[in-house]
Amino acid sequence: MKIKLSEVAELIGGKITGDAGITIDNLAKIEEAQTGELTFLYHPSYEKFFNSTKASAIIVKPDFKKSRKDITYIEVSDPNIAFAKLVIHYLKPEFPLEGIDRTSSVHPNAKLGDNIALGKNVVISSGCKIGNNVKIFHNTVLLEDVEISDDCLIFQNVSIREKCKIGNRVIIHAGAVIGADGFGYYNDDKRVFHKIPQIGNVVIEDDVELGANVTIDRGALGSTIIRRGVKIDNLVHIAHNVVVGENTAMAAQSGIAGSTKIGKSCLIAGQVGIIGHIEIADNVTLIAQTGVSKGISKPGVYFGAPAKEFRTAMKLEAHVRSLPEYAEKIKKLEEQIKNLQEELSKVKGDI
Amino acid sequence: MKIKLSEVAELIGGKITGDAGITIDNLAKIEEAQTGELTFLYHPSYEKFFNSTKASAIIVKPDFKKSRKDITYIEVSDPNIAFAKLVIHYLKPEFPLEGIDRTSSVHPNAKLGDNIALGKNVVISSGCKIGNNVKIFHNTVLLEDVEISDDCLIFQNVSIREKCKIGNRVIIHAGAVIGADGFGYYNDDKRVFHKIPQIGNVVIEDDVELGANVTIDRGALGSTIIRRGVKIDNLVHIAHNVVVGENTAMAAQSGIAGSTKIGKSCLIAGQVGIIGHIEIADNVTLIAQTGVSKGISKPGVYFGAPAKEFRTAMKLEAHVRSLPEYAEKIKKLEEQIKNLQEELSKVKGDI
Amino acid sequence: MKIKLSEVAELIGGKITGDAGITIDNLAKIEEAQTGELTFLYHPSYEKFFNSTKASAIIVKPDFKKSRKDITYIEVSDPNIAFAKLVIHYLKPEFPLEGIDRTSSVHPNAKLGDNIALGKNVVISSGCKIGNNVKIFHNTVLLEDVEISDDCLIFQNVSIREKCKIGNRVIIHAGAVIGADGFGYYNDDKRVFHKIPQIGNVVIEDDVELGANVTIDRGALGSTIIRRGVKIDNLVHIAHNVVVGENTAMAAQSGIAGSTKIGKSCLIAGQVGIIGHIEIADNVTLIAQTGVSKGISKPGVYFGAPAKEFRTAMKLEAHVRSLPEYAEKIKKLEEQIKNLQEELSKVKGDI
């Protein structure tokens, strides 16, 4: 890798200040960058590294104070996106997996498209259909009648149960379990649970990414649906018959209970829990650890358990922190009242 | 599938209103049902679909207002249970796995019962004993001396460590890890952790179901025990030497720390956390995200972190929401007191 | 196992009271111990079993009241550590896995040290380097260029992605996923997410233990680092570019968001969540379910969401529990004020 900085600036639509003639040989984090490397500054907490970074060039916002003369600046409106574009352009990882490994097991009636790579011990069961340009890594298992479209990347030790459908350009990370039985029982009069067979499936639309050890249960009846463009982080749980709307993101360890419908372009932070049988509107942001126990019909930011509008939650939090002061004030008021009562009695006596 | 509605009604003990002579060809969710299909109405939030459903027949509660004449009603006291019975009766999924796959590995001294199915790359180690009618799916691993009784279903990529014992009719979903080492260390005076070998095991009794990617650690000494009829959802964590009582259910992402004993017929909702070394009584319900830091000796419903009786928690929550109002009142009281004091001084002066 | 109690006492530096000449044949929990077995009493909640235990000998603290005469006591300052030492000394489990199984797959250019054991279907990809005395259990997958040092124990169904580096004496439990892509995207103006390739790796230093189904994501750029001696429990999530400091412990289901740095010797309890891009000082203890949304620069104990110093949190919790009383007091004050105002008006009229 040996790239002219002018080429980089053009690619990201940036303005160079300083020596535009240099070349760079790598991208690196600001605190680790070495001479010859390009870095970026996108989060204020990293400005402390600016004076000491050894990077030869840095991507910054237009208003950044260019106090060092020994470094070349590229100004763009969003350094994070600019840097991401460079990583995608120059450093996109390629996975060397190719061909159908002889230890993989493909049922004779399964249909495989062109340019399929199957790793060691991969199991493709009866009735499966796989599109073109799909890589499935070692020890991953597809039960019967699973359908996978084109250009998917499915890492190792993934489990996809029968009848689930995966769209195009889907990425599934290691250990994910797609289509396990939903948590569905009924109680008899002795409080013994009886299993309700879970006979639906999971539908994952195009451009979805699912993190490591994620679990997405199959519908009890009908489908659990992850809409186009949804991104789901590690260890997230999605229960049966949930629908997650387009371009929604869910951070690690959050969970959604059965039959709930999440809107489009929601941002669900880590360790959030959402109760079953409710609807969340589009463009809802849920702060980390929020517990949603009722439907949310209004876009906005929510926090707390039970969830409240963020401003309300923060206001209440401030009030809670003031409780010792309030208690003190109440005590003082009680004393003052007592004194007033006494004084008043005295006054009355004096009249 | 082509079933007389009268047969259905008999099976679930229901009363037909409308055309009892029709046949149905499938079961479906109310919002997705088509002509010829039978649906059910069990949760009020789905009543909005009643006017538009294309279903030919619907299972409802006795008091349901039968406003449409083009649909046949079956009345039962609990439509959910009735529907579940039909799913179990007509649609119970069968898993086609059969026989011992040649890629599976069974140690010569392991004992297998009748009618065992082992998928691809299954590993059965030395000393294992497996009963009759057990299906173990692809890439699942049993280490030494694991015992599994009859009629179990163990999905793919499951890991069962040495000496663990599994009862009858147990279902274990993909990615579950049974019998990993408990989290046990002691600190030296430099705060370095030293591992305490975890030499116990896990005992799973009859009729237990364990969700995808669940982790149940082996006892440090002795056993971690999951009693008969317990149902555990995805991504739940059970630490070493925990005992979960009969017919208790735990929803997704909840966790129990070491040596805690949970009673019978408890309902533990999602993302609940329970501290170690305590006891929870029978018939305790813990609302989602509750954090239990002390033993609970009284049946009932609990919520919050730290956990409180549900009514108390809801009352406190209402008070917290009233804090801005309380703060306002305190301010007003302070002003009123000040005014009173001034007025009283004036009165005193006037006398 | 048939050990003289005097040998046991010497090993743990304990003082015997009672019959020092007996031998013991097993270690057991106090409530399960039988004649001939040695037990210990370390947690007050187990004292209730002392009168009924059948153990022949018991390890206790020096101040323990030795009320039974039919049992031999060994006094030590910390019975838990003493017992742990005995378990390590007498009962350390040995795993019988040996040699390179013929179903494992080792790339020709991978380098294996001495005394390596590879289980069934293990995959060692191109460029991997593995040290001496390493056991890798069944169905575990190492992608390209993974490096593992000496004396490691890696259980089954583990997934280690390309370029990750594992130190000496590291234990990784079943189902763990090391080096999956971090959760990194940028949004375009239609709120569609675009993936930022995650081209870093994970570095696990010496003496680390990772629980079952843990997920540790690779750095976006650079490394996610788990320092020497860190212990991580089941189902924990560590995001990209996190650094966890030496000898820190994290209990089950806790999670750390991207780029956060955790200090040394921290104790992070279960279900704790820590936001991204912050720093936590050394010697910080986070109580279970705590949500940390800002950096913590002072050692100490913290609790709540948002996190507060433990004493403050407990004080506020007590105030919240008093809210019904405060509300009552405010109401009473309002009435008293009203009465005072009326009385004062009357007095004024009387003058």
Give the pLDDT of residue B37: 93
Q: What residue ranges in A107-222 does DSSP mark as E strands?
A: 111-112, 117-118, 123-124, 129-130, 135-136, 141-142, 147-148, 153-154, 159-160, 165-166, 171-172, 177-180, 185-187, 193-195, 201-204, 209-210, 215-217
Q: How far is CA C47 from CA A281, A320, B203, C64, in A?
A: 54, 39, 25, 10
Question: Does the distance separating the beta carbons of A252 and C237 come in below 8 Å?
Answer: yes
pLDDT in tens, A209-251: 999 999 999 999 999 999 999 999 999 999 999 999 999 999 9
Q: Which helix (H) or strand (E) holds B223?
A: strand B223-226
Report the first-to-last Cα separation within chain C, whole angstroms: 99
Neighbours of chain C (3+ CB pairs under 8 A): A, B
Per-residue pLDDT at A346 exceeds 90: no
* Structure confidence at residue B44 as a pLDDT band (50, 70, 90): confident
pTM, entire model: 0.94
Per-residue pLDDT at A351 exceeds 80: no
Best of A104, A183, A314, A331 to substitute, by most chain B Cβ atoms within 10 angstroms, is: A183
To the nearest whole angstrom, how far is the Cα of A142 from the nearest Cα of chain B? 9
Over residues C326-337, mean pLDDT: 94
Count residue pairs from B and C with Cβ separation < 8 A: 196
| Mean pLDDT of the residues in chain C | 94
> Would you call C280 helix, strand, or coil by DSSP?
strand
Question: Does the distance separating the beta carbons of C183 and A234 come in below 8 Å?
Answer: yes
Of C144, C196, C213, the CB nearest to A175: C213
Question: Does the distance separating the beta carbons of A212 and C177 come in below 8 Å?
Answer: yes
To the nearest whole angstrom, how far is the Cα of B307 from the nearest Cα of chain C? 11
Chain C, 63-82: which have a CB under 8 Å from a chain B CB?
Answer: 78, 80-81
Chain A, 103-132: which have a CB under 8 Å from a chain C CB?
Answer: 103, 119-121
Chain B, 234-273: which have a CB under 8 Å from a chain A CB?
Answer: 234-235, 247, 249, 251-253, 265, 270-271
Of A29, A45, A233, the CB nearest to C277: A45
pLDDT in tens, B290-336: 999 999 999 999 999 999 999 999 999 999 999 999 999 999 999 99
Over residues C89-113, mean pLDDT: 93
Radius of gyration of chain B from Cα atoms? 29
Give the pLDDT of residue C347: 84
Over residues B190-200, mean pLDDT: 93
* Structure confidence at residue A91 as a pLDDT band (50, 70, 90): confident
Give the pLDDT of residue C349: 80
Question: Does the distance separating the beta carbons of B171 and A181 come in below 8 Å?
Answer: yes
pLDDT in tens, A58-81: 999 998 999 999 999 999 999 988
The ipTM, to two decimals, is 0.93
Asked if A102 has any chain C CB less than 8 Å from its own CB, the reply is no
Amino acid occupying residue C26: N
Question: Taking every pair of C-alpha atoms in chain B, what is the biggest distance, in angstroms?
Answer: 109
pLDDT in tens, C286-314: 999 999 999 999 999 999 999 999 999 99
**Which chain C residues are within 8 Å of A157, Cβ to Cβ?**
139, 141, 157, 159, 175, 177
Per-residue pLDDT at C1 exceeds 80: no
Asked if B22 has any chain C CB less than 8 Å from its own CB, the reply is no
Asked if C333 has any chain A CB less than 8 Å from its own CB, the reply is yes
Question: Does the distance separating the beta carbons of A126 and B252 come in below 8 Å?
Answer: no
**Which chain A residues are within 8 Å of B334, Cβ to Cβ?**
329, 333
| Mean pLDDT of the residues in chain A | 94
Of B93, B330, B340, the CB nearest to A326: B330
Of A84, A92, A337, the CB nearest to C337: A337
Best of B45, B89, B156 to substitute, by most chain A Cβ atoms within 10 angstroms, is: B156
Question: Does the distance separating the beta carbons of B305 and C289 come in below 8 Å?
Answer: yes
**Spatial separation of the C-alpha atoms in residues C201 and C299, rounded to whole Å:** 30
**Catalytic residue IDs of C:** 240
Give the pLDDT of residue A156: 96
Report yes or no: A217 and A183 within 8 Å, Cβ to Cβ: yes
The closest of B60, B57, B63 to B76, measured between CA atoms, is B60
Chain B, nearest residue to A188 by Cα: B81
Of A222, A329, A340, the CB nearest to B341: A340
To the nearest whole angstrom, how far is the Cα of B189 from the nearest Cα of chain A? 34
Question: Does the distance separating the beta carbons of B193 and C247 come in below 8 Å?
Answer: yes
Give the pLDDT of residue C343: 86
Report yes or no: B225 and B244 within 8 Å, Cβ to Cβ: yes
To the nearest whole angstrom, how far is the Cα of B169 from the nearest Cα of chain C? 24
Chain C, 277-306: which have a CB under 8 Å from a chain B CB?
Answer: 288-289, 305
Asked if A101 has any chain B CB less than 8 Å from its own CB, the reply is no
* Structure confidence at residue C267 as a pLDDT band (50, 70, 90): very high
pLDDT in tens, C54-97: 999 999 999 899 999 999 999 999 998 898 889 888 888 889 89
B201, β-bridge pairs? B223
Cα B156 → chain centroid: 20
**Spatial separation of the C-alpha atoms in residues C256 and B121, rounded to whole Å:** 35
**Which chain A residues are within 8 Å of C235, Cβ to Cβ?**
213, 235
Give the pLDDT of residue A232: 98
% of chain B beyond a pLDDT of 90 = 83
To the nearest whole angstrom, how far is the Cα of B175 from the nearest Cα of chain C? 7
**Which chain B residues are within 8 Å of C78, Cβ to Cβ?**
186
To the nearest whole angstrom, how far is the Cα of A111 from the nearest Cα of chain B? 19
pLDDT in tens, B94-144: 898 999 999 999 999 999 999 999 999 999 999 999 999 999 999 999 999
Give the pLDDT of residue C263: 98
* Structure confidence at residue B245 as a pLDDT band (50, 70, 90): very high
Cα B188 → chain centroid: 39
Of C139, C273, C316, the CB nearest to A271: C273
Over residues A177-206, mean pLDDT: 95
Per-residue pLDDT at A23 exceeds 80: yes
Question: Does the distance separating the beta carbons of C171 and B181 come in below 8 Å?
Answer: yes
Give the count of beta carbons closer than 10 Å to the beta carbon of residue C168. 18
Asked if C327 has any chain A CB less than 8 Å from its own CB, the reply is no
**Which chain A residues are within 8 Å of C181, Cβ to Cβ?**
171, 173, 209
Best of A42, A47, A138 to substitute, by most chain C Cβ atoms within 10 angstroms, is: A138
Of C43, C229, C288, the CB nearest to B273: C288
Best of A32, A91, A247, A271 to substitute, by most chain C Cβ atoms within 10 angstroms, is: A271
Per-residue pLDDT at A1 exceeds 80: no
Per-residue pLDDT at A118 exceeds 90: yes
Question: Does the distance separating the beta carbons of B213 and A177 come in below 8 Å?
Answer: yes
Q: Which helix (H) or strand (E) holds A346?
A: helix A323-350
Neighbours of chain A (3+ CB pairs under 8 A): B, C
Per-residue pLDDT at A36 exceeds 80: yes
Asked if B47 has any chain A CB less than 8 Å from its own CB, the reply is no
Asked if C54 has any chain B CB less than 8 Å from its own CB, the reply is no
Give the pLDDT of residue A343: 87
Asked if A199 has any chain C CB less than 8 Å from its own CB, the reply is no
**Catalytic residue IDs of A:** 240
DSSP assignment of C71-130: SEEEE-S-HHHHHHHHHHHHH-------SB-TTSEE-TT-EE-SS-EE-TT-EE-TT-EE
DSSP one-letter code for B47: G
A291, β-bridge pairs? A273
pLDDT in tens, C181-237: 999 999 988 999 999 999 999 999 999 999 999 999 999 999 999 999 999 999 999
Question: Does the distance separating the beta carbons of B249 and A257 come in below 8 Å?
Answer: no
To the nearest whole angstrom, how far is the Cα of C130 from the nearest Cα of chain B? 23
